[in-house]
Amino acid sequence: MNARSPAPDAQAQIAGLAFGVILIDLAGRIESVNQAGEELLGTSASRLVGKSLGEAIWFEDAIILERVETKLEPLVARGIGLRVGHKALKVNLTVSPLTAYPEWKVLTLSDASRDDWEIAQYDTVAAPAVLAHEIKNPLAAIKGAGQLLARGADADQRALTDLIGNEVARIAGIIDRMQELGSSKPLPLKSVNLHRSVRRALMSVRHRAGTDRVRIVEEFDPSLPKIQANEEALEQALINLLANAYAACEVAEDPQVVVRTRYASGLASLAPGHSRASFLPIEISIVDNGPGVEPSIAGRMFEPFVTSRRGGQGLGLALVRKFVAGMGGAVTHRRDAEREQTIFQIQLARASDDR
């Protein structure tokens, strides 16, 4: 058996990373750039080191550069436009102040073109939406025929006509969700009380579940400002996530769903159709203690028609992503294996008239 080689030091680990790592000082001056950063930016480290970040890299959104250079707090931003020389890029960016070395920050960059591809794939739901529209006319005819048959039906025949009506209603519900998914109509946004929407969603899901077995834990920050949102879309997104959480933890010995709200200042996102990054400081977390989703679909769970639940159509989470994106927000999923918890988080902007 061959002896294992020594573990790589921190410098070797950074050099081997697949995303760009840039070390900057508090004034925003570049100290070092790893190989992946050179390749992503199309510029050698020797041309970047010693320059200020704003001198070396042009940021499409000046607010991002200002935050990077002046704020002593973490920052996460997605879909940020950059230009280095003649090379234009769209990147995902993080900034991490080093607490043990307060005069330094680490900036990471990764290519966001994959995100654009996923958005393009997501937009293909317009085709099923068109198909759904075409299905509705014959479906209405079937419903009408079933109702006519029911008028003269005896008890045995009524069971069959009821079956027709129930199945038509079920299919119509699926079609309605498909049409919502394919709609390109922008959501009207206004100032919304987040906790009122959360409590309405909780009431709806509790009523539908018809059981008190699942314990709900509310961890709300009452000081949160109002958010910029569409109230109806927000409540539907929360209902979908809460219903999934209820269903997921039913098998747990002590099923529990935690609903948490807080202010988290370090996230920014560039939503499709927007030219400037939006800061998304209002965070809603829905946490359940169920077994989590199957690993095979964990990375695709927000795509339409992807589901591991028996009888599920795979439209609920796709609609959540569409609604949240329509409000300029972001939704994420992660599994905390140590605590055996599944966590969905929605990040939204505060209302423009509540600053």
pLDDT of residue 310: 58
> Where do we find the tokens 């307060």?
102
- Would you state the structure tokens that stand for residue 205, as one six-digit string? 């899901």
Average pLDDT over residues 336-343: 88
Q: Tell me: the pLDDT tens digits for 303-334?
A: 766 666 655 556 778 888 888 988 889 898 88
* Whether this model's pTM surpasses 0.75: no
Confidence bin at 117 (pLDDT 50/70/90): very low
- Look at residue 121 in the predicted model and tell me its pLDDT: 47
Average pLDDT, the chain: 80
Q: Which residue did the predictor score with more confidence, 1 or 188? A: 188
Which residues, other chains included, contact 264 with Cβ-Cβ below 8 Å and sequence gap of 6+?
Answer: 281, 282, 283, 347
In angstroms, the CA 355 to CA 279 distance is 13
Residues with Cβ within 8 Å of 9's Cβ and at least 6 positions away in sequence, in order, are none
Q: Which has the minimum average pLDDT: 38-47, 204-213, 234-243, 306-315?
A: 306-315
Least-confidence region, from 129-143, 203-217, 273-287: 129-143
Classify residue 229 as exposed, middle or buried by CB count within 10 Å of its CB (0-12, 13-18, 19+). Answer: buried
Per-residue pLDDT tens for 26-41?
888 999 999 989 988 9
DSSP code for 5:
P
Q: DSSP assignment of 137-154, as one string?
A: HHHHHHHHHHHHHHHT--
CA torsion sign, 84 to 86 to 88 to 89? negative
140-168: pLDDT as tens digits: 777 777 788 788 778 777 777 787 777 77
